[in-house]
Amino acid sequence: MGWFSRKPSPKQVEQVVLPTSAPRSGEADSAREARIFDLGADFLRRARTHKTGLLSAKFYSDALMEWSMKDPEFKVQMFRFVDTFPMLRNRGGEAIFDHLHDYLSQPGVTVPPVINAALKAGGLLKGAAAATIAKQIEGMAGKFIAGTDAASALPGLKTLWDDGIAFSVDLLGETCVSDSEADEYAKKYLDLIQNLPAQVAGWPANPRLESDHLGSVPRVNVSVKISALSARTDPIDTEGAIGDLMKRLLPILETARDRGVFVNFDMEHHALKDFTIELFQRCCEKLDFHAGLAMQAYLKSGPDDARRMADWAKRARRLVTVRLVKGAYWDAETIKSELHGWPCPVWASKWQTDACFEKMTDIYLDACPRSADEAKNGGIKLALGSHNARSIAAAMAGLEARNLPREALELQMLHGMADQLKYAAAELGLRMREYVPVGEMIPGMAYLVRRLLENTSNESWLKAGFLDNADAGQLLRAPAPAANADSAKQPADLLAIAPERHRLTPGVPGVGDGRPFFTEAVRDFSVKAQRDAFAAAIARATVPKIANDRTVDQAKDMIAKADAAFAAWRDTDPRKRAEVLVRTAALMRRQRDGLAGVMIKESGKTWREADADVCEAIDFCDYYARLAVPLFERTRLGKFIGELDETLYQPRGVAAVISPWNFPLAILAGMTTAALVTGNPVIMKPAEQTPGIAAILFDILQDAMKESGIDRTLAQNILHFCPAPGESTGAAIVRDPRVAIIAFTGSKAVGLDILKAAGHTPDEQPFVKKVVCEMGGKNAIIIDTSADLDEAVLAVRASAFGFQGQKCSACSRVIVVDPEGPDGPAISHFTRRLVEASRALTIGDPTLPGTDIGPVIDAESKAKIERYIELGKKESRLELSLPVPAGLEDRTGRAFVGPHIFSHVPESAAIARDEIFGPVVAVLHAKDFADALRIANSSPYKLTGGVFSRKPSHLERAKREFRVGNLYLNRGCTGALVGRHPFGGFGMSGVGSKAGGNDYLLQFVEPRAIAENTLRRGFAPEL
Ligand SMILES: Cc1cc2nc3c(=O)[nH]c(=O)nc-3n(C[C@H](O)[C@H](O)[C@H](O)COP(=O)(O)OP(=O)(O)OC[C@H]3O[C@@H](n4cnc5c(N)ncnc54)[C@H](O)[C@@H]3O)c2cc1C
C-alpha cells in the first residue's frame, strides 16, 4: 500500500531560487546588512546546490507532512496520533488502525482520499493499513532519531565525521518521574561517557573539528537534559533539587573531565531556566570539565540572561561554551502562561526572536576571548544552534567586526534537518556539529513531536528556505515586522487581554475595574523573588489563637441580631455589597503570602496548596461580585404593549455558613461572600481545626465593609464569627427557625444530618429552609491503554496525595484498563511507575518548600486513615507505604501518614468504596474501557473523575457516560478554578449548584415576578 510513500517530485526537492543581488531596501544600506547578505547569500547558494542534502528535503516531500502543512486540523489529529503511536505499537495492528480511524474521523478533519480508502478497509486490510502507517511513522522518527542507543548510532557518527561534521550525542529522555528512572538515565550517560571516547579514538584526526582559536576541542560531545536526572527538578526548592541532581550529575561530570568529554546542558522549559543556569554555574565552579549550556533567544529575558552568563564567566574566570538557540518550546510556553495567567515569557512574533538571537550573539561574541592567554580569565565561546542562514550570517559578520577568526564560532544543527546547510558550512571551513538524539520511541516522543511542529510551522526559516524556496532577499532580511504589518499592531500580550478574551463573567461598570472576572494567578515559584517573599511571609505568619467556645446562647444572640439587620442589608444597593467583595479580594491580595503562611502553619498545607487556597478565596470574591449585581436588576420578559412583565430576585434571610478545614480560607470565603453579596446576613461557623484563618477572614470582611462605607453597626450585625463545637452550637445554628439558608461543605454524615434537620419546619418558622450541601467523594481516574503514562502517573500522584489526599476532589481510586487481566503488562507497568514516582515524594514540615507531603489534620484523622490502611492490607496488596521520617512528628507536633498505594483491590473492598480523606489510593483493574466506566460509576459519590486516554472516541464516551459533577480528561482531578471549572457533585456528593459557577448565587436568592398592566383608558406608553 503506497499512500504515504510518494516519491518526491524532482520539482519539490531540487527547484531552487538562487540569490542574485542584495535587496535594495533601506536597511541593506548599512555596511553590516550588506555584509550579512553577502555571507548569507554565499551560504545559501552553496546549500541549495549541494548534492548530498536530500534527507531533510525528503521530510517535506513526504505526503503525511505535506497534508499536515496544508490542513491544520489534519495536522493536529495526525500529530496526536503520532504521539500515541509508540504505546499502540506493542498492542498490534488492530489498536493502531482503531486509533488512526478515531483521530481522523474527528469533526473538521478532511482526510485525503487515499487515506480515506484505507480507513474504510476491513478485515485483513486493517492490518496492512496499520503496517503501512507504522512504517511511515517509524521512518519519520528515524529521520530525527539516529538510533535506539549510542552503539547503533556509531556508524552514522563515523560517516558524519568522515564528511567533516562533528557530533553531540543526546540520550533521549526528559522529565523523569522517579529516582529509579533518574538512576537508569544517569547510568546510561556514565556508560556513554566512559565508552564513547575509546570507540572514536581511532577515527582520523580533523583539526577543523578538534580545535578552535583557543585550543583543542573535545571529539566526544554529549548533551544532557537535567530534568531526566532527577525526579525533584522543581525550582520551588532550588537547594534541595540541586542537591538531588548533583548526586547523579557529579559522577557524570567527573568522568567527563577525566575522559576529556564535553558536556552540554540543554535548556528546557522556562520554569527551569534560572534553575539550570544556577546548577550549571555551580557545577562549573566545582569541577573543571569542558562545559556548555544552551541559552534561548525566544525568551524576553534573553539579553539579560546573556549578560548574566557573560558576567559570571568573567567573575568565575571560567571558559564555557554557550549554545545559542531560539528555543524548542514556544507553543508550550505560550500555552502554559495562558493557563496560569502568567506573563508570557516568550516573544509573540518570530522576528522578535530572531532579533533577540542577534542581540545575544553580539553579547556572547563580546565575551569571547581572543587568545588562549585571555581565555585564562574566563569567557564565552559561542556555538549557534540554528538552521537559519540569516541568523548564522549575522554571527559570521559579528566575528569579522570583532576581528575574531571563523574558528571562534561553532555551528550546530539537528540530526535529520538542514543537511544542505551542514555540508555548506563544512565547505566554508566552519566547525559544524550535528546534534544526534538516540533512544527508544516512547521517551523520544516529546522530542519527535517538537521536531514535527518546528518543521511544519509556517514561521520556520528552513521551510521557507527549502520548501517554499523563498528568495534570498526575503530569507536574509534583517529581523523586523513584515513590510505590510502595522507596527503599532504587534500581537497583544495574551495576559493583558485575558479577561475580555475569556469573559468568565460580564464586566459590570463600577464593580472593581469594570472588566470581566479573571482568575488570580498562582505564584510562579520558579522566580526567586516570589520564593523568597513567600518564605519570609511564612516565617512571619502567626496563627491567631481562637477558642472554639461560642455557646448555643451566644449563637442565638448572633442570629437574632442578624435577623433584625436583614431588611437593612437586603435593601442596601447591590453595588455596595459587590464593592465589599471587591475590597475583600483586594485586602486578601495585599496579604496573600501571609494568609498562605497562616494556613501552612494551622492546617499543614504545603506551599502550592496554600497559595492556591488564597487565590481561590480571592477569585470567589471577584467572581461573585460581578455576578451579583445583574441579579438584582429587574429583567423584562418580552415586550408586550400594555403589560410590563419583569422578574427579579430577593435575598432569603439569615445564612448559616458551616465550613470545612481542608480549604479553610477558600470555601469559607466562597460561601460567606456568596451569601453576603446576595443580601443575606451571615453566621460564620468555621471548622474547629482552623478557626485562626477564619478569624482573619472575618476581620478582612469587616475592614472591607468599613472601607466601603457600610454603617458600623450594620456591618457588625450582618456578619458574625462563631467559632464553636459543631455538635452543640453548630447543630443549634442550623436548627434555628430564623436561619433561612444553610451553606455547608463537609462530611457526608454531617451533611445528611443537616439536610434532615432542615427538613423539620416548626410552626414559628415562616419558610422552608434552603440547604446548599457539598459532601464527599470517592473519585476515580481511569487509565486507558493509550494513556500518556508520563502525564498520568504525575497527575494521579498529585490528585491522590496533594494536601495528603484530604480534598473532597482527591483521587482515591485508579482504574487501569488491561485486557490481559489484573496482572497484565499495562496495569503492572502503571502501578510500578506510580509507586516509584510516589517514593520520590518528600514527607516533611510544610513550612519548607521541598515538602510534598505535610501532616494530616489531626490525630483523630490519622487514626481513621490507619484503620483503613489495615483493612486495605487484608483486602488487597500493599504496594507502597512511604515511611514518615523518624522524629518528624515530635519535631513538628503534628500527625503524619505517608502515601499508601494498594493494588489488586476488589471493587467491594472498603478502601474502594469509603471516603478515607487521606493519602491512600486503591488501584483497580478493568478489562476494557466500558468496564472501567462501570466501576468508576459504581460509587454513590459523584464528585470528580478523570480519564487518561488518547483515544478520541473513549474521551467522547467518557463525556457522555462518566457521571460525575466534574470530569477531567487527560489531567488531574483536583484544582478546580473559579469560573473555569464550576465545582460540585451530585449523588452522595451533595445537593445544589456548583461553587464558582454562574448559577451558584441563585441558591441564595428567591425569584419574584411582577406583571403590571400599563393600559390606561385604552392607551399604553409603548404603542
Ligand atoms: C544543535 C541544537 C541544539 C538545540 N538545543 C536546544 C535546547 O537545548 N533547548 C531548546 O529549547 N532548543 C534547542 N534547540 C532547538 C532549537 O531551539 C530549534 O531548533 C530552533 O528554535 C530552530 O531555530 P532556527 O534558527 O533553526 O529556525 P527559525 O525558523 O529561524 O526559528 C524557529 C524558532 O523561532 C521561534 N518562533 C516560532 N514562532 C514564533 C513566534 N510566533 N514568535 C516568537 N518566536 C517564534 C521558535 O523558537 C522556533 O523554534 C537546539 C537546536 C539545535 C540545532
Query: For 462-493, how does the pLDDT look when each residue is reduced to its tens digit (9 = 90+)?
Result: 888 887 888 999 999 999 987 666 655 667 78
The pLDDT value given to residue 853 = 98
The pLDDT value given to residue 1018 = 87
774 tagged catalytic: yes
Residue 649 has pLDDT above 70, yes or no: yes
CB atoms within 10 A of CB 331: 14
- The rounded Å distance from CA 270 to ligand 1 centre is 14
Q: Is the CB of 435 under 6 A from ligand 1?
A: yes
Q: Is the CB of 35 under 6 A from ligand 1?
A: no
- The rounded Å distance from CA 828 to ligand 1 centre is 38
SS3 509: coil
- For residues 950 and 84, the answer to whether their CB atoms sit within 8 Å is yes
Place of cell 496560569: 340
Q: Is the CB of 413 under 6 A from ligand 1?
A: yes
Residue 17 has pLDDT above 60, yes or no: no
- Written as nine digits, the cell of 369 is 576571548
Measured from the CA of 390, which atom of ligand 1 is nearest?
30
SS3 407: helix
pLDDT tens for 394-436 read 999 999 999 999 999 999 999 988 888 998 998 888 999 999 9
Reported in sequence order, the residue ranges of 386-530 that DSSP labels E, i.e. its strands, are 409-414, 431-438
Query: If you average pLDDT over every residue of the chain, what do you get?
Result: 92
- Average of per-residue pLDDT across 446-451: 83
- For residues 362 and 32, the answer to whether their CB atoms sit within 8 Å is no
- The rounded Å distance from CA 324 to ligand 1 centre is 9
- The rounded Å distance from CA 76 to ligand 1 centre is 20
How many angstroms separate the CA atoms of 256 and 182, rounded?
A: 18
Q: Is the CB of 989 under 6 A from ligand 1?
A: no
- For residues 626 and 609, the answer to whether their CB atoms sit within 8 Å is no
Q: Is the CB of 4 under 6 A from ligand 1?
A: no
C-alpha pair distances (Å), 401 with each of 35, 398, 408, 971: 10, 5, 13, 52
Share of the chain above pLDDT 70, in %: 95
Q: How confident is the model at residue 965 (pLDDT cuts 50, 70, 90)?
A: very high
- The better pLDDT of the pair 822, 21 is held by 822
Measured between alpha carbons, how far apart are the two ends of the chain, in Å? Answer: 74
The residue nearest atom 31 of ligand 1, judged by CA position, is 460
Place of cell 503492572: 828
The residue nearest atom 43 of ligand 1, judged by CA position, is 350
The pLDDT value given to residue 137 = 83
The pLDDT value given to residue 448 = 83
- The rounded Å distance from CA 353 to ligand 1 centre is 9
- Written as nine digits, the cell of 446 is 516529546
Contacts (Cβ under 8 Å, ≥6 apart) of 212: 381, 407, 408, 410, 431
66 tagged catalytic: no
Enter the pTM of the model: 0.93
The pLDDT value given to residue 53 = 45
The pLDDT value given to residue 469 = 83
The pLDDT value given to residue 10 = 37
Catalytic residue among 808, 836, 875, 973: 808
pLDDT tens for 903-917 read 999 999 999 999 999
pLDDT tens for 349-368 read 999 999 999 999 999 999 99
pLDDT tens for 553-562 read 999 999 999 9
- The rounded Å distance from CA 140 to ligand 1 centre is 20
Place of cell 470565603: 669
Helix then strand then coil, in percent of the chain rounded to 5, is 50, 15, 35
Residue 20 has pLDDT above 60, yes or no: no
- Average of per-residue pLDDT across 77-94: 83
pLDDT tens for 767-790 read 999 999 999 999 999 999 999 999
The pLDDT value given to residue 450 = 84
pLDDT tens for 202-216 read 999 999 999 999 999
728 DSSP assignment: I
Q: Is the CB of 273 under 6 A from ligand 1?
A: no
Residue 815 has pLDDT above 90, yes or no: yes
The pLDDT value given to residue 14 = 34
Share of the chain above pLDDT 90, in %: 79
Q: Which of 236, 225, 228 is nearest to 179 (CA)?
A: 228
Q: Which of 775, 777, 748, 780 is nearest to 962 (CA)?
A: 780
Give me the sheet containing 1005-1013, strands edge to edge. 635-636, 643-651, 1005-1013
The pLDDT value given to residue 124 = 64
pLDDT tens for 862-896 read 999 999 999 999 999 999 999 999 999 999 999 99
Q: How confident is the model at residue 89 (pLDDT cuts 50, 70, 90)?
A: confident
Helices (H), 802-881: 825-839, 859-875
Residue 963 has pLDDT above 70, yes or no: yes
- Average of per-residue pLDDT across 439-465: 82
Type and span of the H or E element at 215: strand 215-216
Contacts (Cβ under 8 Å, ≥6 apart) of 415: 144, 145, 146, 434, 435, 436, 437
Helices (H), 90-178: 93-104, 113-119, 124-144, 150-162
The pLDDT value given to residue 54 = 41
725 DSSP assignment: -
Measured from the CA of 464, which atom of ligand 1 is nearest?
29
Mutate to test the pocket of ligand 1, among 144, 326, 433 (most ligand atoms within 8 A of CB): 326
CA angle 131, 134, 138 (to 5 degrees): 140
- For residues 497 and 606, the answer to whether their CB atoms sit within 8 Å is no
pLDDT tens for 928-954 read 999 999 999 999 999 999 999 999 999
Mutate to test the pocket of ligand 1, among 144, 268, 325 (most ligand atoms within 8 A of CB): 325
Task: Identify which of 19-33, 78-92, 578-592 has the greatest average pLDDT.
Answer: 578-592
Question: Phi, psi (5° rounding) for residue 479?
Answer: -60, 125
Q: How confident is the model at residue 12 (pLDDT cuts 50, 70, 90)?
A: very low
The pLDDT value given to residue 236 = 97
pLDDT tens for 491-538 read 778 899 999 999 999 999 999 999 999 999 999 999 999 999 999 999
727 DSSP assignment: I
Residue 241 has pLDDT above 60, yes or no: yes
Q: How confident is the model at residue 26 (pLDDT cuts 50, 70, 90)?
A: low
- Written as nine digits, the cell of 817 is 484498563
- The rounded Å distance from CA 227 to ligand 1 centre is 19
Give Dmax over CA atoms of the chain in angstroms: 111
Q: How confident is the model at residue 13 (pLDDT cuts 50, 70, 90)?
A: very low
Q: Is the CB of 328 under 6 A from ligand 1?
A: yes
1001 DSSP assignment: G
